[in-house]
């Protein structure tokens, strides 16, 4: 269940991956705060959120961008370890 009051912190790895994949920190935070959490590998959590995109990415037009953060729910904060971005 989402913990909307906790600070969401992106690791350096997550920030770098997110930039390279075309996502934003704001999208990651919105996904974590509004979507249902699911178990992921290595005891981590994940969620997915679709955003209206309607733009070009890597030379192809897409209508939807999906952001999928992988994170750990720590006692005082949520730490994002990586984030995936899908276009369709």
CATH number, domain containing residue 52: 3.30.2310
C-alpha closest to that of 81 among 49, 30, 35, 43:
43
**Residue 1 within any structural domain of the chain:** no
How many domains are contained in the chain? Answer: 1
CB atoms closer than 10 angstroms to residue 73 = 15
Percent of the chain at pLDDT > 90 equals 94
The pTM of the full predicted model, rounded to 2 decimals, is: 0.92
**Residue 2 within any structural domain of the chain:** no
**Residue 56 within any structural domain of the chain:** yes
Q: Give the domain range for residue 67.
A: 7-87
> What average pLDDT score do residues 28-33 get?
97
Q: pLDDT per residue over 39-87, tens digit each?
A: 999 999 999 999 999 999 999 999 999 999 999 999 999 999 999 999 9
């Amino acid at each position: 269940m989402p913990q909307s009051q906790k600070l969401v912190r992106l690791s350096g790895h997550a920030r770098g991956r997110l930039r390279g994949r075309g996502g934003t920190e704001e999208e990651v935070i919105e996904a974590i705060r509004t979507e249902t959490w699911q178990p992921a590998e290595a005891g981590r959590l994940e969620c997915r959120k679709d955003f209206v995109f309607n733009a070009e990415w890597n030379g192809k037009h897409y209508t939807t961008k999906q952001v999928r953060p992988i994170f750990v729910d720590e006692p005082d904060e949520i730490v994002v370890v990586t984030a995936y971005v899908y276009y369709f």
